[in-house]
Chain A
Amino acid sequence: MSSGSRTTNTDAWGGFDDNLIQGSGSAVIDMENMDDTSGSSFEDVGEMHQRMKEEEEVTAEAAAAEDESTEDGEFLGMKGIKGQLGRQVADEVWQAGKRQASKAFNLYANIDILRPYFDVEPSQVRSRLIESMIPVRMITFPQKVAGELYGPLMLVFTLVAILLHGMKTSGTVIREGTLMGTAIGTCFGYWLGVSSFIYFLAYLVNAQITMLQMLSLLGYGLFGHCVVLMVTYNIHFHFLFYAMWLLIGGLSTLRMVAVLLSRTVGQTPRLLLCGTLVLLHMSFLLYLHFSYHQILEGLLDSLEGPNLAPMQRVVRDVPGLTLNTTMRNPGVMQMTQ
């Protein structure tokens, strides 16, 4: 039956064609014949597969560019749809992939998670900045700490800018890395690292403070640092720096300490927590001032050139020859004065 006609109708209705061809021009469909060749019987399925394979070979030789979709061809067996099916499948794969990627992105990189922490007004930020320098007196009742991140973040960036200014004026030469990288690393490292450490200690001694509150508190505590450094990077008086360090640094530290005290019970935990915070906060200010200030003074000392330094020592060790050497090198006389 199927060997006679070589039409390429290879789906379930292929039998239709054979019937009609055999009927030699009759338009009447022979129902009993149709039942036999409905395509659902085992032999017909086998015939269909054979026909499909033969057709495949022909088309595979003919269209060399379409050999990647022969699997589709086997599956459905229609040459025209083969190309379109491949395209559709690729399209669907792309859509599925895109859907998954956007779901993952929305889950993890959603900045809306941080949106409530940035919900502030300028007047609120201003009042919190001023409050960060005023220690509260009542430590028996837990003090309210604002959980916002805008103010602390802006203060950290301001500190970075001030530090950059300080590094530039002191002529720091960073050998491995950049000036900017060091400044950002120092400030962010301090803010995030010390916050985490104090939060960890607070967790150990069971103090009532959350990580967000600690970040916020320490961030606002950097306001004092910004003020002090802004002044002392430009006016180089040691006495001024020490006074400001004690006064302004002390005030902002006292504020943070008071808030922590109000949220901790027990003498030893209070001592531990607040002592650590005082130590870290005040020494950070010292470090920021002196690590770049010292270089400036060191530079000034050796600015006359490295070849004069040994001569200085010679002058000190052998005072008898001082007059002769200073006559020859008036620069040294200026230095020793």
Chain B
Amino acid sequence: MASAEEASRPFAGFSDVSIPEDIPVEGDISVPVTPSSRDDELSTLDEPVKETVLRDLRAVGKKFVHVLYPKRSSVLLRDWDLWGPLLLCVTLALLLQGGAADSNEQGGPQFAEVFVVVWFGSIVITLNSKLLGGTLSFFQSLCVLGYCIMPLTVAMAVCRVVLFTTSGTVGFAVRLLVVTASFGWSTFASTAFLADSQPANRKALVVYPVFLFYFVIGWMILTFSP
């Protein structure tokens, strides 16, 4: 058998149109997969978890800064992510927890209420802006609306502190001021990003639902009493 194989060797290139047994042939002949992308995946898979988490946190933090100073930049739009909105929503919902006359009955639904309001409202506004002919994609709008809740979350934290210290009309006036300011800031910040993607004469149609959305959230913050 060995001699037969050796005898067949000179003719290996000539008659061997099939694949010999000892050298398995593998490779991507027809599948159009670019090897470079595989290299990239491997490189981020190999890095330590701390690096990945820190990179994501840095991206989220950069977007927070962009919300604080709303210029017409495209950072929020280009690489959208939903981590920031999730963090803000959870923080806001936790802060609004337990704010009712009979807190033993309404502890649970409050968290769910805030969550549902934020996400359902964002989805409705996004759909509305898309139906009115907007150019932003679905997740980009969600990202913008979620990040612009940040001033309201900060206002909620301030309100909680105020409720601890003072009470009565002075406290209410302070809270009203803070909430109104942050509500205006949120609306202004989000329209700076959203309204650009609309045709010029329809900006008001997109701004109104955003106004209503942040108004409802601001109202929930203002009427919170522990």
Contact = CB atoms under 8 A, between A and B. Distances in A.
Contact of B26 (A17, A24, A80, A88): A80
B74 to A, nearest CB: 24
Contact of A111 (B106, B110, B130): B130
Interface secondary structure of A, over-half rule? helix
B21 interface: yes
A180 B128 CA distance: 20
B127 A122 contact: no
Nearest to A177: B109
B8 interface: yes
Given A87-B31, A121-B201, A17 B15 contact: yes
B212 A158 contact: yes
B105 to A, nearest CB: 7
**Of listed A11, A17, A120, residue having the most chain B CB within 10 A:** A17
Given A11-B18, A118-B132, A180 B113 contact: yes
Most chain-A CB neighbours within 10 Å: which of B7, B15, B24, B31? B15
B11 A91 contact: no
A84 B11 contact: no
A46 B175 CA distance: 89
B100 interface: yes
B216 A7 contact: no
Interface size class for chain B? 35 or more
A140 interface: no
A157 B212 contact: yes
B79 interface: no
B8 A79 contact: no
A84 B30 CA distance: 10
B78 to A, nearest CB: 24
A180 B109 CA distance: 10
Interface in A103-139: 111, 114-115, 117-118, 120-122, 125
Interface string A201-236: 000000000000000000000000000000000000
A186 B5 CA distance: 85
B215 interface: yes
A24 to B, nearest CB: 7
A196 interface: no
A24 B106 CA distance: 93
A168 interface: yes
A88 B223 contact: no
Interface stretch (B150-158, B178-186, B187-195, B203-211): B203-211
A9 interface: yes
A7 B109 contact: no
Q: What range describes how many residues of A lie at the interface? A: 35 or more
Contacts of B105: 173, 175
A247 interface: no
A128 to B, nearest CB: 13
Contacts of A10: 18
B24 A13 contact: no
Interface string A1-37: 0001111111101101100110011010000000000
Contacts of A13: 15, 17-18
A154 interface: yes
A62 to B, nearest CB: 10
B20 interface: yes
Interface in B16-55: 16-21, 24-31
Contacts of B133: 115
B164 to A, nearest CB: 21
B58 interface: no
A165 interface: yes
Given A20-B15, A27-B11, A157-B209, A118 B113 contact: no
Nearest to B208: A154
A335 interface: no
Interface of B: 1, 4-5, 7-8, 10-11, 14-21, 24-31, 100-102, 105-106, 109-110, 112-113, 116-117, 124, 127-128, 130-133, 201-202, 204-205, 208-209, 212, 215-216, 219, 223
Interface of A: 4-11, 13-14, 16-17, 20-21, 24-25, 27, 55, 78-81, 83-84, 87-88, 91, 111, 114-115, 117-118, 120-122, 125, 150, 153-154, 157-158, 161, 164-165, 168-169, 171, 173-175, 177-181
The 5 closest A-B pairs by CB, nearest first: A80-B25, A118-B131, A178-B109, A122-B204, A178-B113
Given A111-B131, A150-B132, A164-B216, 4 more contacts: A7-B20, A84-B31, A115-B131, A178-B116
